[in-house]
Amino acid sequence: MTTQPLGVGLLGLGTVGTGVARVLLAKRSALEARVGRPVRITCVLVRDLAKPRGVDLGEVRLVTDAQEVIGDPHTEVVVEVIGGEEPARSLIIEAIRQGKHVVTANKEVMAKHGPMILRAAAERGVSVAYEASVGGGIPLIGPFQLDLAANDITSVVGIVNGTTNYILTRMSESGASFADALKEAQDLGYAEPDPTNDVEAWDAAYKLAILASLAFGAPVGPQQVWREGITQVSQRDIQYAAELGYRIKLLAIARLVGGQVEARVHPALVHQGSMLASVDGSFNAVQIEGDLIGTALFYGRGAGSEPTSSAVIADLIALGTSVGRGSLQSQRASVPLRPMQNLQTRYFLRLLTLDRPGVMAAIATVLGDRGISLASVVQKESVVLGDDVPGAEIVLTTHIASEAAVQEAITTLQRMPVVRSIGALYRVFE
C-alpha cells in the first residue's frame, strides 16, 4: 500500500461539484480505507472566488485558472463537473495531455467526443471514467464494462431523462396539461427556465449515444439518434393510452437489428404493469437485453447532486485502486445505422375526422392497402371540431408495421377531405 495521497482536482463547484467535495470531506476515512491511501482535494476551479459556497473546503485552494488545477503536481485525477460542451471538452483533453486521469459527469462531451477522448486517453496511458454521465447514481457504465461483459448486448431501452419523466408522470396522475406540468417541474427545480434540452430530448439523445456505444462496442453519436421530444404529448393521448392499458414514456431505445444499430428517442406507449411503466417521477431506468442474462433493469435517481456524487466517487475509487474502468475503447470503428424508415414496430394513431358514413372504411382501406393491420379501434361519441362541424375522434393501434408504410399512410390520410387532423402518432414499445 502506497501512502502517496490520491490527489483530486475539481473543475467546477456547482451543484455536482459541491456534492462531490462534500462527500470527499465527510466520508474521508471510509474512502481512504476503501482506496487504501489518503484522498485529498488539491484545488478547485470556480468562476467567482467571492461567491459563498455550500461546503467548507478548509485549506483547499479555489482558483479561476483551470491550469492551476490540471497542472498541480499533486493532481492525479481531474474531476470535470462543469457541464456543457466547452470549455469542458478542451479541459478534459488538456488533462489527458498532461497525463492525468479524468472523471467526468459530462454527457454532452462524452456523447459527442467520447471516442476521440477515450482514444487520446489510451494513447497517453490514462483513464477517463464517466459513470456519472448517464443515469446519475445508477450503476450503468461499470456494469456494462465488467458485470455484463460476457454478454452480447442486443438492446438497451431507457427512461434516462428525469425532467420529462416527471412531466409525463404528473400529466398521467393529475390530468395536467403539458404546459402546466412543465411549469410545475420548473417551480420545483426539476426543469430549467429554458427546458429545450430536456423536452426536445437532446439530453436523452446524448445519454443514448453513450449507452449504445458501450452496448454495441462501436461509436454511436448523438446525430445518429432519431429524436422526438414530448411537447406534443396531450392529455387526450395519455387518457386513451391508459384505457388501452399503456402509459406514455419518453423512451431512449438502441437495438441491434440485422447487424445495424437502431437508435431513437421518442415518446412511446409502454404496457402498464411492466417494469418500465412503473418508473415514475424523476426516476430513471435502463433495461438491457443480453444473450446470457436475458432481460435486466437498473433503476434509480438519474440526476441530483448526491446521486451524481455517488457515481463520481465510485469512479474515483476505481481509478484509485487501479480498476481502470472507463478506458475501454470501442472494439469496432463503426457500426451501420439502421434507417428509421426500416423500423418495424406497433403504432398508436389518433385522428380527428368528419362524422360521416364511410369514414372508418376509408381510413382502414388506406392502412390495409399499405399492409398495416389494425390491433384495436376506438371511436367514442362525436366531438365538435373547431368550426362547429360535428366530428369523430378515432384511435387505432396497429400490429407490427413498418415506419415507411405508416409515414406514407399518414401523408395520404392528411390529404383526405374527411380527415381533419392527425392528433397523434406514437410508437408502441413491446
Residues 6 or more apart in contact with residue 90 via CB below 8 angstroms: none
Single out the residue of 143, 340, 362, 370 in contact with its own copies (rule: CB under 8 A): 143
Least Å distance, CB 308 to its own copies, is 9
275 binds its own copies (CB under 8 A): yes
Binding mask 78-107 for its own copies (x = CB under 8 A): ------------------------------
Assess 310 for contact with its own copies (CB under 8 A): yes
Among residues 27, 207, 249, 380, the one annotated as catalytic is: 207
From the list 307, 348, 396, 427, which residue makes contact with its own copies (rule: CB under 8 A)? Answer: 307
E strand or H helix that includes residue 350 = strand 344-354
| 318 or 394: CB nearest its own copies | 318
Q: Minimum CB separation from its own copies for residue 146, in Å?
A: 6
H runs (alpha helix) in 285-420: 305-320, 359-369, 403-415
Q: Smallest gap, in angstroms, from Cβ of residue 289 to its own copies?
A: 10
Q: Is 309 in the site for its own copies (CB under 8 A)?
A: yes
Q: Cβ(45)–Cβ(11) under 8 Å?
A: yes
Task: Verify binding: residue 258, its own copies, rule CB under 8 A.
Answer: no
Q: What is the dihedral of CA 66, 68, 72, 77, to 10 degrees?
A: -20
CB atoms within 10 A of CB 238: 21
Residues 78/45, Cβ–Cβ less than 8 Å:
no
- What span, in angstroms and rounded, lies between the C-alpha atoms of 196 and 192? 8
207 is known as an active-site residue: yes
Does position 138 interact with its own copies (CB under 8 A)? The reply is yes
- Tallying the residues shown for the chain, one arrives at 430
Helix orientation angle between 178-187 and 162-174, rounded to the nearest 10 degrees: 120
Residue 257, CA distances (Å) to 17, 260, 304 in order: 40, 5, 34
CB of 157 to its own copies, least distance (A): 13
Query: CB of residue 136 vs its own copies: minimum separation in angstroms?
Result: 8
**Selected range binding its own copies among 155-163, 310-318, 346-354, 406-414, rule: CB under 8 A:** 310-318
Helix (H, G, I), strand (E, B) or coil at 420: strand
List C-alpha distances in Å: 39 to 26, 63, 103, 131, 314: 12, 20, 15, 19, 13
Q: Give me the residue label for grid cell 452496448.
A: 215
Task: Write down the least CB distance from residue 249 to its own copies, Å.
Answer: 14
Q: Which is nearer to its own copies, 71 or 143 (CB)?
A: 143
CB of 316 to its own copies, least distance (A): 8
Q: What is d(CA 327, CA 338) in angstroms, rounded to the nearest whole number? A: 27
Told to check if 292 binds its own copies by CB under 8 A, we report: yes
What stretches of 221-371 show up as alpha helix (H) in DSSP? 235-243, 305-320, 359-369
Q: How many whole angstroms separate alpha carbon 171 and alpha carbon 325? A: 39
Task: Tell me the C-alpha distance between 419 and 352, whole Å.
Answer: 6
Among 296, 362, 364, 383, binds its own copies (CB under 8 A): 296
DSSP state of 336: P
* Site track for its own copies across 13-52, x = CB under 8 A: ----------x---x---x-xx------------------
Residue 9's nearest CA partner among 53, 105, 73 is 73
- Residue 376 is a binding residue for its own copies (CB under 8 A): no
The residue behind cell 432481460 is 295
Least separation in angstroms between residue 232's CB and its own copies is 26
Is residue 301 near its own copies by the rule CB under 8 A?
yes
Q: Which helix (H) or strand (E) holds 184?
A: helix 178-187
Closer to its own copies at the Cβ: 213 or 309? Answer: 309
Rounded CA-CA distance 228/415 in Å is 23
If one asks whether residue 188 binds its own copies (CB under 8 A), the answer comes out as no
The separation between CA 73 and the C-alpha centre of its own chain, rounded to angstroms, equals 36
Count, residues near its own copies per rule CB under 8 A: 49
- Among the listed ranges 8-16, 291-299, 373-381, 390-398, the one in contact with its own copies (CB under 8 A) is 291-299
Of the candidate residues 12, 137, 158, 162, the single one contacting its own copies (CB under 8 A): 137
* Identity of the residue, 207 or 264, whose beta carbon is nearer to its own copies in the bound complex: 207
Task: Count Cβ atoms below 10 Å from residue 306 Cβ, excluding itself.
Answer: 15
189 vs 273, which CB is nearer to its own copies? Answer: 273
The stretch among 10-18, 177-185, 287-295, 354-362 that binds its own copies (CB under 8 A) is 287-295
* Chain residues that interact with its own copies, rule: CB under 8 A: 23, 27, 31, 33-34, 131, 136-139, 142-143, 146-151, 273-275, 277-279, 283, 290-301, 306-307, 309-311, 313-314, 317-318, 322-323, 331
Catalytic machinery residues: 207
